Amino acid sequence: MAKVIVIGAGPAGIMAALSASKSNKVTLIERNNEIGKKLKLTGGGRCNITNNRDIEEFFEKIVTNKKFLYSAFYTFSNINLLEYLSNNGLEYKIEYDRKGNLY
């Protein structure tokens, strides 16, 4: 078992720590007083975690540089994110708003 240190407990750091913790001892370091603090502020304090649009509509409505993010969003989609959260025991509540955001 390796020792892993993840610096920064934003969304990417939290996911990295969760993934690494499957087979390693992980220390997550964050300068704020709680992990995911900035994420909690998104969506007017409701914690906007993703968008519920179809991937093509997602690109049309949200992303200004489609080519830059194609491979990332096709490799790990909004649906994959929700599955990842569920598989790691993280609870979320879906509130649909007019923009298709999920909180």
Q: Enumerate the domain spans of the chain.
A: 1-44, 48-103
Alpha helices in the chain (DSSP H): 11-20, 37-45, 55-61, 66-75, 78-87
User: How many angstroms separate the Cα of 22 from the Cα of each of 72, 86, 91?
Assistant: 23, 15, 19
Q: Tell me the mean pLDDT in the region 79-84.
A: 90
Pairing of strands 101-102, 24-29: unpaired
Q: Is the pLDDT of residue 63 over 70?
A: no
Best CA proximity match to 32, nearest among 5, 4, 13, 49: 13
pTM of the model: 0.75
**Element (DSSP H or E) covering residue 28:** strand 24-29
Per residue in 4-54, pLDDT tens? 999 999 999 999 999 999 999 999 999 999 999 988 888 888 888 888 888
pLDDT for position 27: 98
44 touches 87 (CB < 8 A): no
pLDDT for position 67: 80
Per residue in 92-102, pLDDT tens? 777 777 777 88
pLDDT for position 101: 81
